[in-house]
Amino acid sequence: MITQIIKFLRVLASEAAPLQISMGIALAMIAGLTPLFSLHNLLVVFVLLTFRINLAAFILALALFSGLAYLLDPLFHSFGLSLLQRTEMQGVWMNMYNSTFWRVAHFNNTIVIGSLVITLLMFVPMVLIMNVLIKHYRTHVLVYLNNSKLVSWLQSSKLVTRFSSMMES
Amino acid sequence: MKSIRWGGLITFVILFIIVIVAALFTGTVLKPVLESAFTEMNGAKVDIDKINIAYSPFTLEIDNIQITDPSEPMINTAQIEQLRLVLSFGRMLMGQLVIDDASIVGVRIDTPRKESGEIVKSASQETSEAKVEEASFDIPGFDFPDIDELLAKEPLQSEVLLDKLEKDLAEIDKQWIKTKKGLPDSEKIDSYEKRSNKIKQDAKGNTSQKLVAIKDAKVLIEELKSDVALIKQAKAQFSGDIKHVNKSIREVKSAPSKDVEHIKGKYSLNGAGAENISRMLFGDEVATYLAMARKWYARIKPYLSSDEATAEVAVERSKGVDVKFKEQDPKPEFYVRVASITADLPRGQFEGVISDISSDQSINRKPMHLKLQGVAMVGKESEVLSAEFNYVDKANSFTKINYALTKSQIEQLTISQSSQLPLDIKAALMTSKVNARLQKGVLSGVAKTQFRQVDFESGNTSMFASAFEGVKAFDIDARFSGAIGDLSIQIDSDLDSQLGRQLKAQLVQKRQQFEEDLKARIDEKISEPMARIDAKKKELDDLKQRIDDSEKQLQKKLAALKETVDKNKQQKKNIAKDKLKNKLKDKFGF
């Protein structure tokens, strides 16, 4: 985990496009907040592996969101249940229920549908927000840190150098 | 194209294919999964030799399935040569096991296992199946007791009365010895005779002799009167005694018959007890068949749809709730549309069809039907088992079973192993129909069985056993109802009445013989004292005769004497009259 954090910090400080990082975080939000072994997560993995999306950001964010999901499950359940019980949606749900694909996707589970709808709604805002935040970090926070005496001292410290090389190996 | 990670894409595709193939299409993967699932359901090991998978249609062939009997781990409840399942792939992806067509080939039951199929034996399994032991029963006492033993232990009224009579006679005898002493004996009667003759002589003599005669006659008359009074008194007493003795003798003579009746009543020699023989004989048989049915029901119950109402599913954290919607073709998690079956059972070869096997009939709305029919039957005309397991409406679920067996040739069927009545049917033709219904834990039904051309054989020569030899055909109707573990069975059969008739005829004959023997023995037993009593009675009768004779003689004598005295008195009166006449004639001349 420490390696992942260090890698993530390096990625944040690197020349990598902020979109790659924010996409990794947004995809991790979907995979982490929804039940992991769901059909839609196969699509997430497919996108993650196929497109140039930052894996370190994804893995770190996945761990964070999985922990968060445990706390948010009651909210997802209530939201999913209210969605599945909506009268005007019954026709749609019934058609989906009679389709093998959607049954395999397990859409009729309150947590699956609840968490998936919420994360999909949050996907684009998340990408945009993370983009802004990463840019802000690089232009302000990172510059400030690099100029600080503490970072200069740490960079010159043999202990930190050794620890850093050990983590890299 | 710079944004696409080709290596990642290829890796994803390869991984996806591997996972799909490994999870769904490899029998090697499926084999332990199925073995484990079936073992859990069965409660003992379920072994599978091999699984073959075909893709179009998606078919699963499972070879040599061995289902261990949980109560006997070295025996297979059933062994199936091949199970062929045509599966619905789409339903399988939805997490349902829907089988469009199944064929179960080569079913055999109770086959031996090479190794134990035991897993963890629960305490309830150890105690629930107690061995069915044949209950012993008492055959009614149709075999008569030994007369000597019976007479030795039974107090006879004949003997009691006889003893009393002998005592009474002894008392009478004693009394009469005393009375007899006071009565005139022959010597006294002879002396009376002599004195009477003398009086008669004197009465013919002169006046003084006549006067003496009259005086003697008066004395003799008084003595005779006294003796006659004594005799009368003795006679009255004697008549009473004789009456008592005669009555007692009559009682003694009728006592043996009463003793026979008493003994007959006490030892139930009246044929009562021939009823409900069939209950005693076939009750255990019926109970054994029902126990077997219970055992099989317990075996198949885990595979049947449950009639228990579905409990409300608790929302498990991080799992959510699966909301169900109306399906166009609803199917439960496990469903078999139709399964054909062939079985080689000890009873013969069977073929059948099971339709709509479902883990939840309330979803597919169809009850499960089973029909199993014997083919190429040997020793029987036909055998059919049909059943309906209806759990569509869980509140009113029921199981209906019908079984029909026609003209089954029975050879050497043991009916009873009781030491009192070992009984076999050497040969018979049996036709049986069983209709049963299980609802709300209550099993009720009727089993009607007809036995024809019956040849009974008993290892015992008792009267009861021999009565069976006359029975050539009989029907048994068994009605059962109650909780499945606590059934009450009512058995009706014309065997009872047939046996009753057979037994009654034999019983009448035997009873007559027994009564005759018993009476003869009682008569023999009382014959000696009766001879003594008869002799004594003869003595009494002689004595009575003698008393009667004495009384007559004395009465005669008394009458003669009275006549003599009266005659003398008349003569005396006439003489006096004549004298007076003569005097008057002399004085008055007329």
Collect all residues with Cβ–Cβ distance below 8 Å to B517 and sequence separation of at least 6.
B147
B322 contacts on A by Cβ (under 8 Å): 106, 108-110
Instruction: Give how far B435 is from chain A: nearest CA, Å.
Output: 41
pLDDT digits (tens, 9 = 90+) for B228-261: 888 888 878 878 888 888 888 888 878 877 887 7
**Residue B316's pLDDT band (boundaries 50, 70, 90)?**
low
In angstroms, the Cα distances linking B255 to B158, B160, B169, B185, B262 are 5, 9, 18, 39, 10
Q: Is the pLDDT of residue B314 over 80?
A: no
Yes or no: say if A57 and A17 are a contact pair by the CB < 8 Å rule.
Answer: no
CA-nearest residue to A92 within chain B is: B325
pLDDT classification of B139: cutoffs 50, 70, 90: low
Which whole number is the average pLDDT over B385-410? 90
With a pLDDT cut of 70, the percent of chain B lying above it is 86
A46·B12 Cβ contact <8 A: yes
Per-residue model confidence as pLDDT tens digits over B75-124 = 988 899 998 989 888 888 777 888 889 998 988 888 888 888 888 654 44
Quick: pLDDT tens for B288-304: 777 777 777 776 666 66
Highest mean pLDDT among A148-152, B121-125, B381-385: B381-385
Contacts of B327 in chain A (CB under 8 A): 97-98
Q: Give the model's pLDDT for residue B133.
A: 43
How much is the pLDDT for A75? 93
Residue B200 has pLDDT above 50, yes or no: yes
Name the token pair of B507: 């019983």
Q: What is the pLDDT of residue A65?
A: 93
Contacts of B4 in chain A (CB under 8 A): 50-52
pTM value surpassing 0.80? no
Does residue B453 surpass a pLDDT of 80?
Answer: yes
pLDDT at A88 over 80: yes
The amino acid sitting at B470 is: G
Supply the angle between the helices A39-50 and A18-33 in degrees, to the nearest 10. Answer: 160
Confidence of residue B276 (pLDDT cuts 50, 70, 90): low
Distance, CA of B3 to CA of B202 (rounded, Å): 190
Q: Which has more confidence, B222 or A86?
A: A86
Mean pLDDT of chain B: 79
Which residue of chain B is at minimal alpha-carbon distance from A79? B320
Average pLDDT value for residue range B131-149: 55
Cβ separation B318–A110 shorter than 8 A: no
Q: Cβ contact (<8 Å) for A52 and B3?
A: yes
Structure tokens at A98: 């009679």
Q: Which of B24, B88, B89, B318 to mutate to test the interface with A (most CBs of A within 10 A)?
A: B318
Instruction: Name the β-bridge partners of B59.
Output: B54, B86
pLDDT for the residue B315: 55
Cis omega (within 30 of 0) on the bond before B112? no
**Confidence at residue B546, expressed as pLDDT on a 0 to 100 scale:** 77
The nearest CA of chain A is from the CA of B340 a distance in Å of 28
- What is the rounded CA–CA span in Å between residue B297 and residue B182? 100
Q: Does an H or E element contain A97, and which?
A: helix A90-97
Closest CB from B12, B315, B325 relative to A45: B12
List of chain B residues whose C-beta atoms are within 8 Å of the C-beta of residue A104:
93-94
Query: What residues of A are in contact with residue B314 (Cβ under 8 Å)?
Result: none
List the single residue in B94, B319, B324 with the smallest CB-CB distance to A100.
B94
C-alpha distances in Å from residue B524, one per residue of B45, B379, B519? 78, 60, 8
pLDDT band at B179 (very low <50, low <70, confident <90, very high): confident
Q: Is it the case that residue B401 has pLDDT exceeding 70?
A: yes
What is the percent of chain B where pLDDT is above 90?
A: 10
Kindly provide the ipTM of the predicted complex, given to two decimals. 0.80
The backbone region for B136, taken as left when phi is positive above 0, alpha when psi lies in -120 to 50, beta otherwise, is beta
Q: Quote the minimal CA–CA distance from B116 to chain A in Å.
A: 39
d(CA B500, CA B275): 7
Give the span between the Cα atoms of B109 and B354, in whole angstroms: 18
Cβ-contact A41, A34 below 8 angstroms: yes
For residue A70, which residues of chain B lie inside 8 Å, CB to CB?
A: 317-318
HSE toward the beta carbon, residue B391, CA cutoff 13 A:
21
**Shortest Cα–Cα distance, A153 to chain B (Å):** 38
Q: Do B325 and A111 touch (CB under 8 A)?
A: no
**Residue in A closest to B315 by C-alpha:** A77
Q: Tell me, what's the pLDDT at B93? A: 79
Contact present, B431 and B450 (Cβ < 8 Å): yes
Q: Do A51 and B4 touch (CB under 8 A)?
A: yes
From CA B93, how far away is CA A104, in angstroms rounded? 6
Section B558-562 average pLDDT = 79
- Chain A residues close to B11, C-beta within 8 Å: 49
* Tens digit of each residue's pLDDT (9 = 90 or more) over B18-62: 877 766 666 676 788 788 888 887 888 999 988 888 777 888 888
- Tokens 């009559």 found at: B250
Contact, B9 vs A50, CB < 8 A? yes
The residues, any chain, with a CB within 8 Å of residue B40's CB and separated by 6 or more, are none
- Both tokens of B215, joined, read 């005086």
Smallest Cβ–Cβ distance between A49 and the set B12, B315, B318 belongs to B12
Structure token digits, residue B34: 């199925």
How far apart CA B39 and CA B62 sit, in angstroms, is 15
Mean pLDDT lowest for which of B299-308, B329-338, B472-481?
B299-308
Between A16-30, A45-59, B465-479, the lowest mean confidence (pLDDT) is in B465-479
Contact between A112 and B2 using a beta-carbon 8 Å cutoff: no
Who contacts A70 (Cβ-Cβ below 8 Å, separation ≥6)?
A: B317, B318
Task: Give how far B331 is from chain A: nearest CA, Å.
Answer: 11
pLDDT value of residue A150: 73
Q: Give Cβ neighbours of residue B2 (< 8 Å, ≥ 6 apart).
A: A52
Q: Say yes or no for a CB contact (<8 Å) between A100 and B4.
A: no
Surface-to-core class of residue B447, CB atoms within 10 Å of its CB (0-12 exposed, 13-18 middle, 19+ buried): buried
Is residue B444 a contact partner of residue B461, using CB atoms and an 8 Å limit?
no
| pLDDT surpassing 50 at residue B128 | no
pLDDT at A119 over 90: yes
Q: Alpha-carbon dihedral of residues B477, B481, B487, B491, nearest 10 degrees? A: -20
Q: Residue B387 pairs with which residues in a beta bridge?
A: B370, B401
Instruction: Out of B16, B95, B318, name the one closest to residue A70 (CB).
Output: B318
Return the structure tokens found at B181.
């002493």
Alpha-carbon span B58 to B292, nearest angstrom: 38
Task: Find the chain A residues whose C-beta atoms sit closer than 8 A to any C-beta of B.
Answer: 35, 42, 45-46, 48-52, 69-70, 73-74, 76-77, 80-81, 84-85, 90, 93-94, 97-98, 100, 103-104, 106, 108-112, 114
Task: Determine the Cα–Cα distance for residues A50 and B136; give it in Å rounded to an integer.
Answer: 82
What distance in Å separates the CA atoms of residue B49 and residue B290, rounded to the nearest whole number?
34
Model pLDDT, residue B127: 46
By C-alpha distance, which of B81, B74, B110 is closest to B346?
Answer: B110
Residue, of B372 and B264, whose pLDDT is higher: B372
Rounded CA gap, B305 and B308, in Å?
Answer: 9
pLDDT of residue B383: 92
Q: Please state whether beta strands B334-345 and B97-112 pair in parallel, antiparallel, or not at all (unpaired).
A: parallel
**Are the C-beta atoms of residues A113 and A84 closer than 8 Å to each other?**
yes
Query: Which amino acid, A169?
Result: S
Q: Do B4 and A97 touch (CB under 8 A)?
A: no
Q: Which residues of B touch A41 (CB under 8 A)?
A: none
Rounded to the nearest 5°, which phi and psi values hold at B389?
Answer: -110, 100
Interface test with B, best of A41, A49, A66 (most B CBs within 10 A): A49
Per-residue pLDDT averaged across B185-206, rounded? 79
Cα(A84)–Cα(A93) distance, rounded to whole angstroms? Answer: 7
Within 8 A of A32 by CB-CB distance, chain B residues are: none
pLDDT band at B132 (very low <50, low <70, confident <90, very high): very low
pLDDT band at B568; cut points 50, 70, 90? confident
Residues of B in contact with A94 (CB under 8 A): 325-326
A85 pLDDT more than 90: yes
CA dihedral B244, B247, B251, B252 (to 10 degrees): 60
Judge: A98–B327 Cβ closer than 8 Å, yes or no: yes
Strand partners, B488: B481
User: What pLDDT is stored for residue B129 in this prediction?
Assistant: 44
Q: How confident is the model at residue B126 (pLDDT cuts 50, 70, 90)?
A: very low
Residue that the structure tokens 């591997």 belong to:
B18
Residues of B in CB contact (< 8 Å) with A are: 2-5, 8-9, 11-12, 16, 90-91, 93-95, 315, 317-328
Å from B58 to nearest chain A CA?
A: 16
Query: Worst-scoring range by mean pLDDT, A10-14, A65-69, B556-560?
Result: A10-14
**CA B25-B26-B30 angle, 5° bins:** 105
